[in-house]
């Protein structure tokens, strides 16, 4: 058992206050002779930067190089001597589409804070990046925590962790040593949250008030951790944006994918040892094997696995997990999700009624006859073009369904839950409407950062104020209400109250209810489950 998961150590740290942490880590040393901030962590001192009244520490290790622990839970980071520079982001996990360097030595996090060891007990906002379980990192400029720190007096943390086969290749069927290999990417996040709990006070934060928030795959990871015993007690609020995880892969389905993956590498299940030394490039290339599911875009799906240990149940089926029933949760989506990832094909913007059925059958995921879907959309929205029907139906059929399932499960449980829908469309790209990822710079208030699709006009600023203030209010109190929006009621099965973020925002009961009922004719099955 590693120190990061030692129960006795966990109990000791839970009982330790700021004085105990100071004794464990040594004196803080708030600044060096040059005035730059220096913080003592459990493994050594780190030096960051200060700008606009916010201290930033980037590329802070929370775990050891995983190359020696492929497909196994990570060890704690190794101690270092002297002062380690924490000025640049750490490498991303191995993946194909990365903007910077990748490495198996990828367990790094980044911290922004207005204060250091000042007893501030600020809420901690822990962001988990999207990219499914396949790509992404915590170093996108849109995730910069400076604006949230200055706007709301909070501590912001972003994180890298293992992805794709490195984080979710399930080998437990053939070797008990790899019993948790299907979820080590999520166990990395657990380890990062343990690091945050140990160090929050050092960075002016409250270890007893941690909000996890994430978009797309980040939201799915949060939903999964809500059912993971190892994550219990490590976060106290949850905010998900266009990312849900209702069911996970079962061990049979995960083993089937693992067998295909091993075959692509020329290995048999009884020859797992070579996996430890194969080049990263070979391990990534093998993920390009066609998935047995028709919806996985011609490559293997890797995601959470209901392995009976690290994840003993499906995240939100048949009900919401009891261990998270007391955690306040916000579940949101955007009105035009699929315009982000299906809008890149210009043909989808110029569909004819004759072309629509085949295109819809391939992309809606839910197995309902396209003719039935098209007829209902033409009845509901007689002015829609074939392309408008396509984007609306694919959003309802594959991107929105998980949010509805989780909202309903939480409502049945009586858990404190709020739902939202982003309807506001960026003036910079109105054709795409409220597309997938648009809420990221609005929640972070980073509309002026490189890559923001919102523009910096008055309308974008109003939306960023409303959404980021809701997030900050939620982090402070467990309730997203604030003076800049109408009263936001909790989601109920009777009324399905939903905050529609538009200009102006408004509370609406069961928005797009007819579309919801149409797609609930078929059972929902999360991608990768079978």
- What confidence score (pLDDT) does residue 161 get? 98
Q: Identify the active-site residue in 55, 129, 314, 436.
A: 436
Nearest to 183 by CA among 285, 251, 128: 251
pLDDT at 294: 65
Question: What's the whole-number average pLDDT of the chain?
Answer: 93
Q: Classify residue 289 as exposed, middle or buried by CB count within 10 Å of its CB (0-12, 13-18, 19+).
A: middle
Provide the b/e sequence for 417-429 (b: ≥16 CB within 10 Å): bbbbbbbbbbeee
> Domain limits of the chain?
3-241, 331-519
Point out the least confidently predicted range of 8-22, 102-116, 156-170, 503-517. Answer: 8-22
pLDDT of 312 strictly over 60: yes
Specify whether domain 331-519 bears CATH 3.40.50.1820.
yes
Catalytic residue flag (residue 52): no
Mean pLDDT of 244-271: 95
The band of 25, judged by pLDDT with boundaries at 50, 70 and 90, is: low
Contact yes or no for 125/211 (Cβ under 8 A): yes
Instruction: State the DSSP code for 116.
Output: S
What gap in Å lies between CA 4 and CA 78, rounded to an integer? 12
Count CA within 13 A, CB hemisphere, residue 194. Answer: 29
Residue range 51-77: mean pLDDT, rounded: 97
Local structure of 242: helix, strand or coil = coil
CA distance 530 to 256: 9
Annotated catalytic residue within 77, 337, 376, 497: 337
Class of 3-241 in CATH: alpha beta
Peptide bond into 221 cis (omega under 30): no
Of the pLDDT bands very low, low, confident and very high (cuts 50, 70, 90), residue 296 is low
Q: Could you give the CA distance from residue 202 to residue 43 in angstroms, rounded to a whole number?
A: 13
Q: What is the mean pLDDT of residues 368-388?
A: 97
Residue 3 is predicted with a pLDDT of 37
Contacts of 417 (CB under 8 A, 6+ apart): 328, 329, 330, 331, 407, 410, 411, 490, 491
pLDDT for position 346: 96
pLDDT of 387: 98
Helix axes 386-394, 370-380, angle to 10 degrees: 110
Q: Which of 43, 92, 139, 216 is catalytic?
A: 216
Across the range 53-78, mean pLDDT stands at 97
Average pLDDT over residues 128-156: 97
Q: Do domains 3-241 and 331-519 have the same CATH topology?
A: yes
pLDDT of residue 528: 83
426 flagged as catalytic: no
Tell me the per-residue pLDDT of 382-441, one tens digit each, with 9 for 90 and over: 999 999 999 999 999 888 999 999 999 999 999 999 999 999 999 999 999 999 999 999
> What does pTM read for this prediction?
0.93
Whether residue 262 has pLDDT greater than 70: yes
CB-CB contact of 491 with 411 (8 Å): yes
Q: Which residues are CB-contacts of 382 (< 8 A; sequence separation ≥ 6)?
A: none
Cβ neighbours of 335 (radius 10 Å): 23
For the cut 60, the answer to whether the pLDDT of residue 374 exceeds it is yes
Q: Which two tokens stand for residue 208?
A: 């007893």
pLDDT of residue 527: 80
Three-state SS letters, 130-199: CCCCCCCCCCCHHHCCHHHHHHHCCEEEEECCCCHHHHHCCCCCCCHHHCCHHHHHHHHHHHHHHHHHHH
Residue 105, classified by CB atoms within 10 Å of its CB into exposed (0-12), middle (13-18) or buried (19+), is middle
Report, in angstroms and rounded to the nearest whole number, the Rg of the chain calculated over CA atoms: 23
Active site residue 199: no
Provide the pLDDT for residue 414: 98
Lowest mean pLDDT among 20-29, 227-236, 262-271, 328-337: 20-29
Taking CA 75 as the corner, what is the angle to CA 74 and CA 78, rounded to the nearest 5 degrees? Answer: 135
pLDDT beyond 80 at 20 = no
* Residues 154 and 190 sit within 8 Å (Cβ to Cβ): no
The token pair at 109 is: 């996090």
302: helix, strand or coil: coil
pLDDT given at position 99: 81
């Amino acid at each position: 058992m590693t120190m990061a998961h030692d129960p006795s150590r966990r109990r000791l740290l839970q009982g330790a206050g700021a004085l105990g942490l100071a004794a464990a880590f040594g004196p803080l040393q708030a600044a060096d002779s040059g005035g730059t901030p220096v913080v003592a962590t459990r493994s050594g001192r780190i030096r960051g930067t200060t700008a606009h009244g916010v201290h930033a520490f980037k590329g802070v290790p929370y775990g050891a190089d995983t190359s020696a622990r492929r497909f196994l839970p990570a060890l704690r980071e190794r101690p270092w001597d002297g002062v380690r520079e924490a000025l640049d982001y750490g490498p991303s996990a191995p993946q194909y589409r990365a903007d910077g360097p990748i490495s198996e030595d990828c367990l790094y996090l980044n911290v922004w804070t207005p204060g250091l060891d000042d007893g501030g007990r600020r809420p901690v906002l822990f962001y988990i990046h999207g990219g499914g379980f396949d790509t992404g990192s915590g170093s996108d400029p849109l995730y910069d925590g400076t604006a949230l720190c200055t706007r709301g007096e909070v501590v912001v943390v972003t994180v890298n962790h293992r992805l794709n086969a490195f984080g979710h290749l399930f080998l437990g069927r053939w070797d008990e040593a790899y019993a948790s290999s299907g979820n080590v990417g999520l166990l990395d996040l657990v380890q990062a949250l343990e690091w945050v709990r140990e160090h929050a006070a050092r960075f002016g934060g409250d270890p007893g008030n941690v909000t996890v928030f994430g978009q797309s795959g980040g939201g799915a990871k949060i939903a999964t951790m809500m059912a993971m015993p190892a994550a219990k007690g490590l976060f106290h609020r949850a905010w998900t944006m266009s990312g849900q995880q209702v069911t996970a892969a079962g061990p049979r389905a995960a083993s089937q994918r693992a067998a295909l993956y091993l075959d692509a590498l020329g290995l048999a299940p009884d020859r797992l040892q070579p996996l430890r030394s194969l080049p990263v490039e070979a391990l990534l290339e093998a993920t390009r094997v066609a998935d047995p599911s028709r919806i996985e875009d011609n490559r293997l799906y890797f995601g959470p696995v209901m392995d009976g240990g690290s994840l003993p149940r499906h995240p939100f089926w048949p009900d919401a997990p009891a261990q998270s029933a007391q955690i306040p949760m916000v579940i949101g989506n955007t009105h035009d999700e699929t315009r982000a990832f299906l809008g890149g094909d210009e043909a989808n913007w110029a569909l004819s009624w004759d072309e629509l059925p085949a295109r819809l059958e391939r992309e809606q995921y839910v197995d309902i006859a396209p003719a039935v879907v098209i007829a209902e959309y033409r009845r509901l929205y007689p002015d829609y073009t074939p392309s408008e029907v396509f984007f609306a139906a694919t959003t309802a059929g594959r991107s929105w369904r998980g949010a509805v399932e989780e909202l309903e499960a939480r409502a049945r449980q009586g858990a404190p839950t709020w739902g939202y829908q982003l309807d506001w469309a960026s003036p910079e790209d109105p054709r795409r409407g409220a597309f997938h990822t648009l809420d990221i710079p609005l929640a972070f208030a980073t509309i002026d950062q490189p890559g923001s699709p919102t523009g910096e006009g008055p309308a974008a600023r109003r939306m960023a104020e409303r959404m980021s203030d809701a997030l900050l209010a939620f982090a402070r109190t467990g309730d997203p209400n604030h003076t800049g929006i109408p009263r936001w009621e909790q989601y109920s099965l009777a009324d399905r109250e939903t905050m529609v973020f538009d200009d102006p925002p408004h509370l609406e009961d069961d928005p797009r209810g007819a579309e919801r009922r149409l797609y609930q004719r078929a059972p929902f099955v999360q991608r990768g489950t079978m």
